[in-house]
Structures are given as structure tokens and as C-alpha cells.
């Protein structure tokens, strides 16, 4: 498909909000939803009134009725009658991937067998003290406290394979580039994306598509520890701002934090060069979020996979725990900002699974478990269903269209690529 915007359609408010809004309220919502999407991130202080009042779990519509009515009147005066009527509170999206973090650790915490003997050394003793517990629920809360308190309570966790609830990689290879291609472009491509080789991705990501659409132009950015993301996201042709590997922040208006991170990038050792450690990636992403306030931010962490390949289970766990802290910081930032609070969705996934038992450190086509992934979603359009324990199978390639659906689109690219995960969208969940 050529560039431009064919194939995109914003869904109508009336079809989206039927569950939580009366016809009269739906009119207000339609009007309220039009405005905020057509303006920049910081330009309308009233946005939160309309948007927060229509979330799937909200009951505050009546209490803000007067303000909403006033807002609707204001918007009726200043908006063209032909403006599209996108719906839903979700205005911003943060997509995070944690490379190679197994569903086993996500849903059952540290593996007591792999934790081994705390007498093996300081790292083992530290991991043992932090992550060991008799009960799997305890262990997963110790390892990933943000996922198992905030997201489990307010969002959804898919991929507990022990319960038959699966998020699978559709691609044949069970390695990173095919996994990220699937996540970001909405379709596995087993003919062309067969390994991690640095080739320009012939498939366009939903991030690149968004970045060309009105309202999203210049408001999409990607940060990654793995340098290969410049290929995966086809930096050369996509026009997407990508900061990956050992790249420093550039530009005339860098913050103190970004200049400091640039210094650290130059002075720190980089054990996985030309990739970098997640603390730098996260720092750059946070600094960019604060300074540029993008609507769509993608952050790709990589430490867990690097440690796993080296067989360092304790370090792998510590990396997972740090990623959980990063998620918390990203989320707390959005919930403390008027342009983001109540209208931001968070999606977190991994690109592949790994083997089990002594094969835990590896993954790939021939290693069982490499196609088992997981997915966490939280946001104003996603029902708070918590951990999903009913048998179901979804695929990494559904993440892109789920993201587009959350952002208010009801089609993307072509019918075959449009396969959002229904339960993640309030409009598709039975009352």
C-alpha cells in the first residue's frame, strides 16, 4: 500500500459508547470527543471533562453534565460540522516490549528451581531474598509488582498458558525481529523476516502509519535498547523518530536530563554494544515524554533477554524487576499530567518466549516455548478484567490493530490486518 491515509476510518461515537451513555449523553460525548482529538496535547484544558466521564467504569457523567454541556456548546461553535467523530477516551498510547521475558515468570514469578542455591554468590543470595516465595502469587507480585497490583486491578493480563490463555507468536521463528515485525506491523512475514539479520523492514509499522495521520504527525516516537530497531521500524523510509542502540538525543532544545544521558552514553561501558542497557533507553524515553509530550510512545527494553542468553537467571530477574519499575514510572507520569490522565492506554508485551527447565536461556524455531508470549493492557477503553484465565488464543500480530482500535480507529490497512482483541475494547465486551 502506498503512503497517505486510505484505509483508516475512525469509528463513530454512537457505536462505541453505547454501554455507558444515554442518547443525550452520547451527543455530548460525540461533541466532546471531536474536539480534543483535533488539537495538540496541551491546548485544551477542558478535555479531561468529556473524556474522563465516559470511561467504561466511570459513573461521573451526571456530575460533570453541566460542564460537558457547556463544552459541547463551545465546540459546536468552533468546529466544522463535517469533522469526523472519533470516540473513546483513549487519546494517547504507550506501548512497551520487554524482550524475551517468559510468560512463566510473568504469571508465576521466579522459578524456584532456577533460583538455585543462595549460597552460590551475592547475586544468587540477593535474588533469593527478593524473589523467592512459597506461593506463585507471592512470587509474581515480588517480581512484577506494578503488573500484579496496578495492571491486574485496572487492566488485563493475557497469556497464562497454564490456564490455556495464550498469546502466541504467529511467526515460525521464535526470535526477536520476526516477533517485533509481527507486533509492530500487524502481520507475521515468514517469507521475508526470517531472522534477526539487519535488513530494512519491507512492512510498515502502525507507528509509521500513525505518524503520517492528522493529529498524530510528529507525535509518535520510539526508544529501544536494541540497535536493530532502526531496521525493524525502517528508519530510512518511515520517517519515524527512533532512538535505539547507542544513539544520543539530538536537537537544539535538549533537557538537562537528556544532555546528562548523552554524557553517560559516552562514558559508560556497554556490555552489549551496539545495543545499550535499559536504564539509558528508559531515561531517554522519559525525558522525551516530558519534553515533547508525544501521543504515541514505543519503548523497547532488552536487558532481560541479554542476561538470559548469558544464563544469568538472577540478573534476568533483576532486569524484569527494573522493567516493572520503568512501567510504573511511565504510567505514573501519564496519570499526573492533564493531557494524559484518564486518556492514555498502556500495552506491554514480549516478542517471544523461551525454553523451559535448563533450556530457559534460549529461544528459537526448534525450542519449545519460544512462541508463547503474553500481553498486558490497561486504559480507559479496556475493561478491568484482570488476569485472563479462560482458554483463548490471541497472537502478537493482533497488537497493532488493538492499539489502533484503542486510539479510535475502526479499520487499518486492510481487512486481513484488522483483528483487534475484542475483550480489550469496552465496546465489544458484554455488560
List of residues contacting Zn ion (CB under 5 A): 100, 305
Q: Work out how close the CB of 300 gets to Zn ion at its nearest, in angstroms, rounded to a whole number.
A: 13
- Say if residue 19 is exposed, middle or buried (CB neighbours under 10 Å; 0-12, 13-18, 19+): middle
* Nearer to Zn ion (CB atom), residue 56 or residue 100: 100
* Nearer to Zn ion (CB atom), residue 231 or residue 340: 231
Kindly tell me the number of DSSP H helices and DSSP E strands found in the chain: 19, 13
* Nearer to Zn ion (CB atom), residue 262 or residue 312: 312
The answer to whether the beta carbons of residues 276 and 283 sit under 8 Å apart is no
**Ordered DSSP codes for 69-120:** HHHHHHHHHHS-TT-----SS--EEEEEEETT--HHHHHH-S-HHHH--GGG
Q: Is the omega angle on the peptide bond into residue 274 within 30 degrees of 0, that is, cis?
A: yes
Report the alpha-carbon distance of residue 295 to residue 56 in Å, rounded.
21
DSSP state of 399: H
The dihedral region occupied by 357, where left means phi > 0, alpha psi between -120 and 50, and beta the remainder, is left
Beta-carbon neighbour count of residue 366 at 10 Å?
9
Q: Work out how close the CB of 425 gets to Zn ion at its nearest, in angstroms, rounded to a whole number.
A: 31
Q: What are phi and psi of 185, to 5 degrees?
A: -110, -5
Cell output for 212: 503520517
Q: Work out how close the CB of 216 gets to Zn ion at its nearest, in angstroms, rounded to a whole number.
A: 31
Q: Work out how close the CB of 366 gets to Zn ion at its nearest, in angstroms, rounded to a whole number.
A: 14
* Nearer to Zn ion (CB atom), residue 72 or residue 175: 175
Q: Work out how close the CB of 160 gets to Zn ion at its nearest, in angstroms, rounded to a whole number.
A: 22
Q: What are phi and psi of 122, to 5 degrees?
A: -65, -45
Q: Work out how close the CB of 305 gets to Zn ion at its nearest, in angstroms, rounded to a whole number.
A: 4
Report the alpha-carbon distance of residue 373 to residue 179 in Å, rounded.
10
Report the alpha-carbon distance of residue 66 to residue 72 in Å, rounded.
10
Cell output for 385: 478484567
Q: Work out how close the CB of 423 gets to Zn ion at its nearest, in angstroms, rounded to a whole number.
A: 29
* Nearer to Zn ion (CB atom), residue 216 or residue 313: 313
* Nearer to Zn ion (CB atom), residue 278 or residue 305: 305
* Nearer to Zn ion (CB atom), residue 372 or residue 381: 372
Residue 99: partners with Cβ closer than 8 Å, 6 or more residues away: 176, 225, 226, 300, 301, 302, 303, 304, 305, 306, 350, 351
* Nearer to Zn ion (CB atom), residue 227 or residue 305: 305
Q: Work out how close the CB of 296 gets to Zn ion at its nearest, in angstroms, rounded to a whole number.
A: 26
* Nearer to Zn ion (CB atom), residue 139 or residue 307: 307
Cell output for 249: 538525543
Q: Work out how close the CB of 176 gets to Zn ion at its nearest, in angstroms, rounded to a whole number.
A: 6
Cell output for 272: 552489549
Amino acid at each position: 500500500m502506498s503512503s497517505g491515509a486510505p484505509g483508516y476510518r475512525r469509528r463513530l461515537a454512537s457505536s462505541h459508547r453505547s454501554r455507558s451513555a444515554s442518547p443525550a449523553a452520547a451527543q455530548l460525548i460525540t461533541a466532546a470527543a471531536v474536539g480534543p482529538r483535533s488539537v495538540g496535547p496541551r491546548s485544551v484544558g477542558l478535555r479531561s471533562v468529556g473524556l474522563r466521564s465516559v470511561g467504561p467504569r466511570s459513573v461521573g457523567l451526571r456530575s460533570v453534565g453541566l460542564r460537558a454541556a457547556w463544552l459541547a456548546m463551545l465546540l459546536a461553535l468552533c468546529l466544522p460540522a463535517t469533522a469526523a467523530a472519533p470516540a473513546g477516551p483513549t487519546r494517547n498510547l504507550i506501548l512497551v516490549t520487554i524482550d524475551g521475558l517468559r510468560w512463566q515468570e510473568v504469571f508465576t514469578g521466579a522459578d524456584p528451581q532456577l533460583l538455585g542455591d543462595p549460597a552460590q554468590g551475592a547475586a544468587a543470595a540477593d535474588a533469593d531474598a527478593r524473589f523467592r516465595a512459597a506461593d506463585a502469587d507471592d512470587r509474581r507480585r515480588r517480581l512484577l509488582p506494578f503488573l500484579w497490583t496496578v495492571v491486574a486491578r485496572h487492566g488485563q493480563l493475557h497469556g497464562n498458558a497454564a490456564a490455556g490463555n495464550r498469546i502466541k507468536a504467529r511467526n515460525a521463528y521464535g526470535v526477536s525481529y520476526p516477533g517485533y515485525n509481527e507486533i509492530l506491523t500487524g502481520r507475521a512475514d515468514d517469507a521475508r523476516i526470517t531472522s534477526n539479520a539487519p535488513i530494512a523492514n519491507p512492512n510498515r509499522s502502525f507507528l509509521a502509519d500513525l505518524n503520517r495521520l492528522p493529529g498524530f504527525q510528529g507525535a509518535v516516537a520510539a526508544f529501544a535498547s536494541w540497535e536493530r530497531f532502526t531496521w525493524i521500524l525502517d528508519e530510512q523510509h518511515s520517517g519515524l523518530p527512533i532512538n535505539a542502540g547507542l544513539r544520543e538525543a539530538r536537537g537544539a532544545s535538549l533537557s538537562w536530563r537528556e544532555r546528562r544521558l548523552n554524557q553517560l552514553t559516552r562514558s559508560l561501558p556497554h556490555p552489549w554494544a551496539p545495543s545499550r542497557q535499559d536504564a539509558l533507553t528508559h531515561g531517554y524515553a522519559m525525558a522525551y515524554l516530558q519534553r515533547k509530550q508525544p501521543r504515541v510512545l514505543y519503548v523497547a527494553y532488552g536487558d532481560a533477554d541479554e542476561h538470559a542468553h548469558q544464563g544469568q537467571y538472577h540478573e534476568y530477574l533483576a532486569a524484569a524487576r527494573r522493567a516493572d519499575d520503568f512501567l510504573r514510572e511511565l504510567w505514573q507520569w501519564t496519570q499526573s499530567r492533564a493531557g494524559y490522565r484518564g486518556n492514555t492506554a498502556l500495552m506491554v508485551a514480549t516478542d517471544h518466549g523461551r525454553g523451559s527447565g535448563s533450556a530457559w536461556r534460549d529461544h528459537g524455531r526448534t525450542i519449545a516455548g519460544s512462541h508463547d508470549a503474553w500481553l498486558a493492557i490497561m486504559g480507559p477503553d479496556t475493561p478491568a478484567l484482570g488476569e485472563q484465565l479462560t482458554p483463548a488464543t490471541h497472537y502478537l500480530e493482533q497488537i497493532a490493530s488493538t492499539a489502533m482500535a484503542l486510539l479510535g480507529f475502526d479499520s487499518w490497512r486492510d481487512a486481513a490486518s484488522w483483528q483487534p482483541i475484542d475483550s480489550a475494547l469496552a465496546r465489544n465486551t458484554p455488560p
